[in-house]
Amino acid sequence: MTFNDIFKSSFLEKAVEFSILDVAIAMLLAFAIGLFIFFVYKKTFAGVMYSASFGVSIMAMTLITTLIILAVTSNIVLSLGMVGALSIVRFRTAVKEPLDIAFLFWAISAGIVIGAGLIPLGIIGSIFIGIVLLIFVNKKSTETPYIIVLNLENDKAENDCMEAIKEKTKKSLIKAKTVTKTGIELTVEIRLSDMSAKLLNELLTINGVNNACLVSYNGEYAV
């Protein structure tokens, strides 16, 4: 054993063997793709409350995944240990919007592809996914569903309102009905023939209608 063997470090040898240029290129590409995913998420967000931190998390996830894949592909033994370490990780944060799951998988997939060195696949695939999301998520429906809530005094007022609704709308469906001793509360899903809200004013002229409310409805509705 020589003097050099005493201070020989396998850790430093691995650091020397690793290409700094490859890491820099991969991380810069991952950052660019993560920034693109963040841009698409911001443009296609259709929820109630926009979370900027979630968008930044998507970008960071692309970078982190790329870093992990770079480490895994450089050493087979390390890859086995990495799989065991990541298997114990659990995420407890609830995903409120279904589309957010797609962005999470997109960020992870982009990081994996870039880390594996498949740069054309990562760039072309991300651009294609982004264009598809921008087209379909931002596509506005020509038949916006609405909900009408009516407070009625008796059955005659209910029948008159339903006849007026069926005459003035393309489609209508009773969603809920509550009957009390003081009157009837009726909830009806409709699709207007035009974007005018004059129907609400006409319903108020019917005898027995105490008040009427029209709200936009973005949930599931029958076709």
Q: Which residue has the higher pLDDT, 69 or 79?
A: 69
31-48 average pLDDT score: 86
Decide if pLDDT at 223 tops 50. Answer: no
Rounded average pLDDT over 171-192 = 86
Instruction: Report the pLDDT value the prediction gives residue 222, as an integer from 0 to 100.
Output: 40
The pLDDT value recorded for residue 221 is 40
- Burial (CB < 10 A; 0-12, 13-18, 19+), residue 33, is buried
72-121 pLDDT tens trace: 776 665 555 565 555 555 556 666 677 888 888 899 899 989 988 888 99
Q: Tell me the C-alpha distance between 200 and 221, whole Å.
A: 21
Among the listed residues 212, 107, 98, the one whose alpha carbon sits nearest the alpha carbon of residue 162 = 212
Cα separation, 99 vs 110, whole angstroms: 17
Average pLDDT, integer, range 188-211: 81
When pLDDT is averaged across residues 45-58 and rounded to a whole number, the result is 77
Bridge partners, 177 (sequence order): 186
Q: Which is nearest to 112 in space by CA: 137, 82, 91, 144? A: 82
pLDDT (tens digit, 9 = 90+) per residue, 21-38?
Answer: 888 898 999 999 999 999
Give the residue extent of every domain in the chain.
7-137, 145-216
Q: What is the pLDDT of residue 88?
A: 52
Beta pairing partners, 172:
190
* Domain 145-216 CATH assignment equals 3.30.70.60: yes
Place of tokens 């797609």: 102
pLDDT of residue 126: 92
Q: What is the arithmetic mean of pLDDT over 125-133?
A: 92
**Which of 94, 95, 97, 93 shows the shortest CA–CA distance to 47?**
97
pLDDT recorded at residue 110 = 92
**For 51-73, what is the mean pLDDT?**
84
H-helix segments, the chain: 3-6, 10-17, 20-44, 52-74, 76-86, 98-115, 119-137, 155-168, 198-204
Q: What is the mean pLDDT of residues 49-77?
A: 80
